[in-house]
Structure 1
Amino acid sequence: MSNGINGINGVNGVNGHAESYKLGDFSIDEYRPMRVVCIGAGVSGIIAGIRFPQKVPNVDFIIYDKNAGIGGTWYSNKYPGLSCDIPSHTYQYTFEDNTEWSSFYAPGPEIRQYLERVANKYKVNKYIKLEHELVGAYWEDAEGKWRLRIKRPSPNSTPENRQLEEFEDRADVLFTGLGLLARWNWPDIKGLKNFKGRILHSAQWDVTDGHWEEGVKDWRDYKVGVIGSGSSAIQIVPALQPKVAHVVNFVRGKTWLATPFLEEKTAQVLGRDTRGNHKFAEEDKQRFRDPVFYKQFRWELENELNSLHGLTLKGAPQQLAAREAFTQDMKRRLANKPWITKYLIPEFGVGCRRLTPGPGYLEALCEDNVTFETTHIKRITEKGIELVDGKRYDLDVIVCATGFDTSFKYSFPFVGQNGVTLQDKYTPHPRTYLALTVDGFPNWFQSFGPNSCFSSGSLACIFERQVEYAVMATLKLQRERLKSLVVKKEAVDDFDEYLEAYFPGTVYSEKCRSWYKMGKEEGRIVGVFPGSPLHCLRSIAHPRWEDYDYEPLDPVKNRFYWLGDGQTFNEKTLTGDRAWYLNPEEINYPPIPKD
C-alpha cells in the first residue's frame, strides 16, 4: 500500500512530471520592483501620486508634467472668469475636504491652490518632474516595458535662451492623466494671422501680470471680440464686460444656460438665499468647519447632483422639466434684449452640449457695452473682424474661446504591440475598454480618456476610481509575476457594442455641435460615458481579469509559479509582523444583526 511519500517528495509527482518543475526561489510576498510612470500632474495625477506609493509595495514611481506647475488644466488656464462649472463642494477629493471655498463656483486659482495644498500634504511633490514633456511612448514587447521619450530643459537652459534635451525612461506600467481639455485649437478663420491687435486663446491666456484683473487693467478703452459660446466664452464675457469699453460676442451656435446647479439645496441646508454664484460668508465657513455639519452638507449636495442623470435621457420627465425651466429662466434673464433668445435657446435637448450654469453671462449680454453677434465670420482683418454680410468690427483684442482638440489623437507617437499606433486605433474614432485601456497597448491605463466625461456628477470621484483600477492592475502584475496584461480585442468590441446601443436613447445623439462628438453636429459620441457617474463607479469597482490576456514574466509554464517557495518573507527571515491578520485594519468586523 502506497503512503504517498513519493508523490509528496515529487519523485514521480501527481502527473508524473513534477521532477521537471522547480519552485521559485522567492517568497510569495517578495514583491518584485515595479517602475510606474505617470504622465500629468493634474487632478488624476495627484491622486496617482498618493495611491500608487500608498498601495503598491516596492514601487519606483514618478510623475512627468510638461507645465511649470501642478494642477493640469487649472494651471494652464488663466483666462478671465475661469471657475468651476459645478458647485465647488462637489469638486474635491473624497478624502480631502475643503471648507474654505470662497464661492459656490470657485475661481480657477482657488482650485489650483487646493490641488497644490493636497499635493503638499500627501508629499506628492517629491515624485513630480515639471517641464518634462512626453514626446514618445513605445511598447517594448521583449522587455515587457514602455520606452518613453521625455523632453525637458537642458542644464544650460535659461529663460532668455531656452534649450531642450531629450532622454529615455522605462516603465513597467504607464498611467496617463493627459487630460481631455489640454490641446487647444485655433479657429479655422481666414486671416487669423493678419490682425495687428492682440489675439489670445482662452487656453493660452498670456496676460501674465499677476491675476487676470491686473493684466487687463489698461483695457478700459479697448474693444474686445470674444469668439465662441462654449463654457470658456460664457465665463469670459461677463468677466471682461465691466473692465472694457465694449465686448462683441461672436456666436455660431445655440446653447443651454442652466439654472445654477443645487442652489435650492444649498439654500435649504444653509437656511438662507444662495442664488447665483453665492459668496460664502465667514459665518458659512464657520459652520463648514464643524465636521458633522460639513459631512452632511457635502452629502446633501452630491446626493442631489447624482440624481440628475435622468436629464440626459430622451423624453424623460427630468429632461422635459429641465427644458421648460431653463427656457423660462433664460427668457427672464434676457428680458432687456429678448431678441437674443431666438438665437441662443436651442431646439436640441438639455445636455446635448456640455451644460454650464454661466452665472452672469446672460445678464452681461443685456448690458449696453455688449454686442451679441450671430452673423458668421468671413475673415479676420488687420483691424478686426469682417462678417459674411460685409459688416466690420474694429477691435483692439480678439479672444478665441474656440475649444480643444477632442480627437484624443496625441501629437506624439504612441506605439503599442506590433507597431500599431494609438492614432491608428483611434481612427475614425476612439474605441476603448471601459474608458480605461485599449487592446494592443499592454500595461497602460488612462484617466479622463475617451468616453470618461459626464454632464452631471463630480469628475473628481471618477478620477479616483480610475486610478484605483490602475493600481489594482499593477498589483496583479506584481503579485502574479506577469510581464504584461492587455485587454482582449473582443472585450473592446463588446464595450463598443454596448456604447452604440446606449447613446441613441440619450440627448447626446441629437443634432448639436459638441466636443462630445469631436466638434461635430452628428456622429460618434466620444466624450461621455455610456451611463451615469454612479453606474461608472460600479462598473470599474471590480476588474474583470477574464477580459485580459497575460504573459508571464518568468519562462515557466506552471501558472502557480508566483506562489514561490511556499512561505512569506517574514517567516523565512523571522522578521517583521507574522500575525498581521490581527491588525485592526486587516480585521473585517461583521455587524451584529439587530434581530
Structure 2
Amino acid sequence: MTPLIIPAGTSPDDQASKRLGGPIHAERHVNIICIGAGPSGLLMAYKIQRHFRNYSLTVFEKNSGVGGTWFEQRYPGDDGRSVACDVPAHNYTWSFEPNPDFSAVYASGKEIYDYFNSFAAKYHLNEYIRGQHQVIGACWNNETAGYDVKIRDLRGGQEFSQHCDILINASGLLNNWKWPAIPGLDSYEGTLLHTSDWDENIDLTGKHVGLIGNGSTGVQILPQLQPIAKHVTTFIREPTWVSPVQGFEQHSFSDEERREFARKPQVLTEYRKGIERGLSGQFGIFLKDTKPNKDAHEYIAGQMREKLRNERLETQLIPKWAVGCRRFTPGVGYLESLGKDNVTVVVGEINQITGKGCLCDNGCEYPVDILICATGFDTTFKPRFHVIGPDGTNLQDQWKEEAQSYLGMAAAGFPNYLIFLGPNSPVGNGPLLSAIEAQADYMLQLIDRYQTRNIRSFAPTREAVSDFIVYKDNFMEKSVWADPCRSWYKNGRDGPVTGVWPGSTLHYIEAISEVRLEDWDVKYSGNRFAWLGNGYGQTELDRTADWGYYIREADDDSPATTGGRRMLLSKSGTVKNTGGMSLLGKQPEESIKVAKANL
C-alpha cells in the first residue's frame, strides 16, 4: 500500500470521495499564491518548501528583485542605498539564519538587502518568484473554493489570471509611498523628489536642498544630505523622539569582532539573545505612567539635549507627548546634523509650495533648488488591489474607515486569505522579524489542516474579530499609543489604534502559537470526517517507521499544558538577569563581553 496524495485539479466536491479510499490525513494538492517577495514572502516560500509536499507555489513580485522595501529604498549616499536598519542589524535576521558579517549595529540598507537576497539564493527561492508581476485583483470563486487572481506583467503590460486555493498577502505596509498633501506641489519649478522614488542621477553637490519630514525616513536622510549639499533647509511639522533607544549607539564592528562572530557562532548567538531580551524587555515603556515609561522619557530627553546642544531646538524638537506614541527612530547622526552651519531648521506647517520653495506658517518663504519629500507611505492597511469575498464585498471598502483584522493575519468574510503584518500586528512593540516568523508558523498550521482534511474554506468569524477589536480598544486606553500624537499607528489621525498589537511581541508570539479553531468558520467538502479515510494510519504505510513507537521505558511526553509547553520552549530557569530596560545605554563592546561571559 502506498500513501494517497490527492492530485492537483481535484474539485472540492470530489475530495471527500477520494479520501475515503486512502488512509487518514491524505495530503491533497494545495495551490498557493503569495503576493510579494519581501522578507515576509521569502520566509513563507522558505517554510512551505521546507515543510510541505504536494503543493504549488507562485510568488508574484512587482519589482525586478527580491527584498521588498530594502530593494526599493534608494536614498542619497555613496552607494545609493544609505537607508539604514533602525534596529540592531544582527536581530533583523531570521532566528535560524544569523549573519556574522554586518559592518555596524545599524547596518546600511544595502547590507540588509544583500542578506535577504542571499537568503533567497541560498534556499533556491527564486524558482517560485515571478518578478515584475503585479497583482491587481483577486475574486473568490465559489465553484472552485479559491481565488481567481488577476496579474499584470509590468514588462509588457499584459494581464492574465491564475487560480489558487489559498491567497497570502505579503505585500507589506511601507511600500505605497505618497506625496504630501500640501497645496501648490505641482507648481514647484525646481527638482522635486520623493525618498521612496529616488533618482540616483540627481547631483546634490552645491545645491540648496529642502527636506520635508522628520519621520523615520527624514532622520535617516538628513545626515546623508548635510555633507553633500551646499545648504539644507529641513521642514519639521512637529517634534518626535529621536534616540537609539533600542539600547545601542552606532558602532562599527572591527574585523576581529566579525571574525569572532564567524569562528564562534555561539558568541554571536548569545550576543543576539542579549539584544532580543533587551528589545522584549522594553514593553513597559509603552504603558502609561509606568516606571519604565518615565525612565525612558528622562533618558531619551537627556540624550536629545546632549546631542542638540541648542536651547531653541531643544524646546522645539523634544516632544511633550509620551515616549513611544510614535515609532522610535535611532536617527544616527540626525540630531547632530541639525546643528551644522549649513542646516536651517524650520518648525511648523508648510502652508503652500510655491514655484521657488516652501511658504510656511511663520510668513516666510524658503527658496530651494531641490525639494525632497520624506513623507512616508499610505498606511491605511487597505489592500493595494481589490479583494472580493463570497458575498461580493470588497475588502478595500470593508476596511475603508477602520481596518479590523483577526490577530493581524486574516479578515472576516474572506476565506482562505491570509495576511502578513496586517492591522494590529506588533510592528512597534519589540522585535519585528520574530513576530513575522510566528505569523508564518501560524499560517503553516492552517495550511496543514487544509491539506490533510477535506476543508473547503476557512475564515475568522465576525464575532471573533469583533471581540478582538473590543479587547484591543480597551487595552489601548492604557497605552501611550492612544496619546494625542500624529502617528501612522492611528492612520495619522486621532482614531483607533490599528498599527500595533495590544501587548508585547512575546505576548503576541504566545497568543498565536496555536490555532484557535473556535474562532474560525470552517466549511468542509462532503462529510467533515471523510479525512479519516479507509481505516489505515499513515504510519502503517511507512515500512521504515516503528509501528510501536509509543512503547517506552519512561514517561518522556512533552508537557500537556500551555504553561508547561511555554516553560520548556522558553528554557525557563536557565537565564539570569533578564530585565526590563537593561540595554539602555549599554555599548555593543560591553554586550559582546557579556555574551562571552555567559558562555
* TM-score using structure 1 length: 0.86
Alignment RMSD: 2.2
Q: How do 1:98-113 and structure 2 match up within 5 A?
A: 98-113=99-114
2:269 to 250, 274, 295: 295
2:148–2:162 CA contact under 8 A, matched in 1: yes
Kindly tell me the number of residue pairs found equivalent between the two proteins.
535
- 1:361-401 per-residue CA deviation (whole Å, 9 max, x = no partner) reads 11000000001001321222222222234322221111111
Q: Percent identity?
A: 36
- Per the alignment, residue 123 of structure 2 pairs with 122
Contact 1:42 1:73 in 2 (8 A): yes
Where structure 2 has 5 or more consecutive residues not aligned to the other structure, the ranges are 1-16, 77-81, 560-567, 569-599
Q: 1:277 to 1:152 in 2, by over 3 A?
A: same
Q: Kindly provide the CA deviation profile for residues 493-534 of structure 1, in whole angstroms up to 9, marking residues without a partner as x.
A: 1101110110000000100000000011x2110100111000
Worse-matched range after superposition: 91-100 or 193-202: 193-202
Deviation, 1:254, is 1.1
* Displacement after TM superposition at 1:457 (Å): 1.9
Answer yes or no: is 1:325 the counterpart of 2:325. no
Q: Which residue of 2 aligns with 1:10?
A: none
2:250 matched to 1:254? no
Name the CA distance, whole Å, in 1 between partners of 2:387 and 2:18: 39
1:570–1:577: 8 Å Cα contact kept in structure 2? no
Q: Residue type of the partner of 1:579?
A: D
Match of 1:26 among 22, 25, 31: 22
Match 1:52 to one of 48, 53, 57 = 48
Indicate the SS of the match to 1:137.
strand
Partner of 2:379: 406
Residues 224/589 of structure 1: CA separation in 2 closer, same or farther (3 Å cut)? farther
Change (3 A) 1:72 1:407: same
Deviation (angstroms), 1:144: 0.6
User: Is the Cα contact below 8 Å between 2:305 and 2:314 reproduced in 1?
Assistant: yes
Partner of 1:561: 530
Residue 581 to residue 32, structure 1, CA distance change in 2 (3 Å) = farther
Among 187, 191, 195, which residue is 1:202 paired with?
195
1:186 correspondence with 2:179: yes
Distance 2:110 2:352 in 1: 34
Q: For residue 212 of structure 1, what is the aligned residue in structure 2?
A: none
Deviation string, structure 1 residues 210-230 (Cα, Å, up to 9, x no partner) = xxxxx56x4221011010110
Superposed counterparts of 1:14-93, under 5 Å: 24-80=20-76, 81-93=82-94
- Taking the aligned partners of 1:380 and 1:537, their CA distance within structure 2 comes to 46
- The one-letter amino acid of 1:362's match is L
Distance 2:449 2:18 in 1: 22
User: Secondary structure of the residue that 2:87 maps to in structure 1?
Assistant: coil
Separation (CA, whole Å) in 2 of partners of 1:41 and 1:581: 44
Q: Is the 8 A contact 2:238 2:348 kept in 1?
A: no
Name the structure 1 match of 2:10: none
Match of 1:515 among 466, 482, 488: 488
Counterpart position of 2:137: 136
The Cα shift of 1:342 comes to: 1.4
SS at match of 1:224: strand
**Contact kept in structure 2, 1:259 and 1:329, CA below 8 Å:** no
Once the two structures are superposed, residues 412-454 of structure 1 have per-residue CA deviations (whole angstroms, 9 ceiling, x without a partner) of 2111120011122213201111111011000111111111133
- The separation in 2 between residues aligned to 1:111 and 1:562, in whole angstroms, is 44
1:498 matched to which residue of 2?
A: 471
Q: CA deviation at 1:329?
A: 1.3
Looking at CA atoms only, which structure, 1 or 2, has the larger radius of gyration? Answer: 1
Amino acid at match of 1:525: V
Distance in 2 (CA, whole Å) between partners of 1:370 and 1:582 is: 72
Contact map agreement 2:178 2:375 (CA 8 A) in 1? yes
Q: Using the alignment, how far apart are the partners of 1:582 and 1:133 within structure 2?
A: 49
Contact 1:383 1:395 (C-alpha < 8 Å) held by counterparts: yes
User: Paired residue for 2:563?
Assistant: none
1:252-301 alpha-carbon deviations (Å, 9 max, x no partner): 011011245222xxxxxxxxxxxx31111101112212112111111111
- 1:524-548 deviations in whole A, cap 9, x for unaligned? 1010011100000000000101111
1:221 aligns with 2:221: no
Give the 3 Å change call, closer, same or farther, for CA 358–176 of structure 1 in structure 2: same
Contact 2:245–2:328 at 8 Å: present in 1 too? Answer: no
Please give the alpha-carbon distance, in whole angstroms, between the structure 2 residues aligned to 1:23 and 1:280.
Answer: 57
Checking the alignment, whether the CA contact within 8 Å between 1:454 and 1:532 is kept in structure 2 is: no
SS in 2 for 1:398: strand
CA deviations over 1:35-73 (Å, ceiling 9, x no partner)? 011101011101101111222221111111111110011
TM-score of the two chains, using structure 2 as the length reference = 0.86
Are 1:441 and 2:437 matched, yes or no?
A: no
What is the one-letter code of the residue matched to 1:490?
Answer: E
Partner of 2:592: none
CA distance in 1: counterparts of 2:351 and 2:61, whole angstroms: 38
After superposition, residues 171-570 of structure 1 pair within 5 angstroms as 171-207=164-200, 215=201, 218-263=203-248, 276-289=249-262, 290-335=264-309, 337-520=310-493, 522-553=494-525, 555=526, 557=527, 559-568=528-537
- Secondary structure of the residue that 1:68 maps to in structure 2? coil
The 2-side partners of 1:538 and 1:67 are apart by: 34
